[in-house]
Each structure stands twice: as structure tokens, then as C-alpha cells.
Amino acid sequence: MGLLAALLSAVFASAKDLVSKKLASGLDGTASTFASFAFALPFYAILLTVLWLLGQETFTWSLAFLGLVLLRSVTDTFAEWMKMHAFGHGDISMVATFLSISPLFLLVTSPLITGDKLSLTGTLGVILVVGGSLVVVYRPSAGWAGHKKGILLAVGASLFFSLNSCFDRLAVLEGTPVFAGFTMTLLSALFLLPFTLVKKERRQGLRVYCAGLLVRGILEVAFRVSKLYALQYRSAPDVAGIQRVSLVLSIIGGRVLFQEEDFGRRLAAGVFILAGVFLLAWLQ
């Protein structure tokens, strides 16, 4: 079940990123980051209500849980802010690639924060995933200058995503995936609310792109809950590595929807990524 949940989260993550890239052309990065949290809240509320009525949901208010939720919300706010701005400064396949190095950071942050022990197979799988990701963007003749800002923002986002994956892992050991996802999302939205309301164009952007933001809100809930569910059964590096299947999907989506270049080479690099995912998923 942990493997299935991680694979589902990869599909939802890729779909969410494609919608975010589409919105990036007309929506301010800060407003988009706020909306990624705020527009997910109504769907979390519906899901929580249904599960509670069915007797399948409990609400945890322990100090340990709330502390982890706070730490996770802060790191996720920074990660999402950098990610949304990165989409405005680079191709989705390139940005998604550098977002994909978070498993490499997790090789360091996970043992330190969660205490999860890394196996040799798992470490090799993560290295293959990250290696494949870097092959995607290696092109000596490429004019990287135009993507420099997007790359730096994506690398920063990867670091913060590795941290919030660690806090995710600890939080779901204290509470349920849906309630943990809801509380984390609510806090992140509250953090960004003042920065969004202060500018008129950001408020207008939320109204103009409301339909697309609602679609992304549904995808955010599906992604977050499936990821948190997977973290109940597998370590943070394992889940993050398996989620890199989303990179292959983003490469295909970038070609189909945005006519991005170097499709063949980038897709070929996906073989390394899928090989790493195989090691993480079936040989652990």
C-alpha cells in the first residue's frame, strides 16, 4: 500500500506541476504559492467531514504533533514559494529536474531528523534517480543563463522539500494523513495571506484564475494525502525517490503542452530514474 500511495502521489504531483506551469504565465509567484494552499482547504474540509461521519478520521492535538505541523508548514511555505517562482523562470522539465534532487538531500537530512536508517540498495536507488535527473539537463551547448534563476530557486526548493518530507514522516506517526495535511496546509496559507492581500494585482489574479486554482487545489489534496499515507509505511528517502516518476510525466507533459525542446534526450534519462525507482520500490 505504501508503494501504491507513493506512485499515486507522483502522478498527482506531475499533474499539479503542469497546472502550476500553465498558471505561471499570468499569475504572480507569491499569489500562486498562497493559492496552492488556500484553494486546497475547501476540499480538505469536505474530505475530513466525510471521513469523520464514516468514523474513519480522528483529530490529534498533541503538542508533538502541532510542533511538527508548524515546522513542516514553515519549510513547505519556503519550498512552494521557491518552486512557483522557479516555474516562471524556466522550462517545466528543467525546473522539475532540479526539484528532483530532494532525495539526495534526504540522504543527509532523513537520518539526522527522522532516524531512518538507509540501506545500500536504497542509497543506490536514490543516486540513480538523481543521476538520471541531472542527465536530463546536461547539455554543454545550452544557454543556461536564461534558466539560471529558475535552477537556483528549484535547488533551494529541493532542500526545503527534503526537510518537510522529514517532518511529514514524523507527523504522520503522530496523527492521520488527512488531518495532518489539512493542518499543514491551513498554517501555510495563513503565513502567506498578508503577502497576498497587500497587492491588488495578486488579489485580482486569484479571481481571474479561480477555475484553474480550484483544479490545482483538488490535485494538491490528492498529492498530499497519498504522500502522507505512503510515509506511514516507508522512509522519507524511499517515498521521495519513488515520487520521481513524476519527472518522467512532467517531461512528457512539457513536450505535449508547452512544446519544450530536447524531449528525446530528457526522456532517455528517465531510464536511470525508473531504474532507481525500481531499486527503491521492489528490491528494498
Evaluate the CA torsion angle 166, 164, 227, 275 in order and state its sign: negative
**Domain ranges for the chain:** 2-282
Residue whose C-alpha is closest to residue 17's, from 266, 220, 256: 220
CB 254 within 8 A of CB 260: yes
Q: Render pLDDT for 242-281 as a digit per residue (tens, 0 to 9).
A: 877 777 777 777 777 767 666 776 666 666 676 776 666 6
pTM of the predicted protein model:
0.78
DSSP letters spanning 45-88: HHHHHHHHHTT-------HHHHHHHHHHHHHHHHHHHHHHHHHT
Structure-block grid coordinates of residue 22: 500553465
Please say whether the beta carbons of 103 and 240 come within 8 A. yes
What tens digit of pLDDT does each residue of 153-189 get?
988 998 998 998 899 999 888 888 999 999 999 999 9
pLDDT at 146: 57
| Alpha-carbon gap, residue 236 to 106, rounded angstroms | 7
The closest alpha carbon to 121, from 253, 235, 264, belongs to 235
Residue type, 202: R
Q: How high is the pLDDT of residue 224?
A: 92
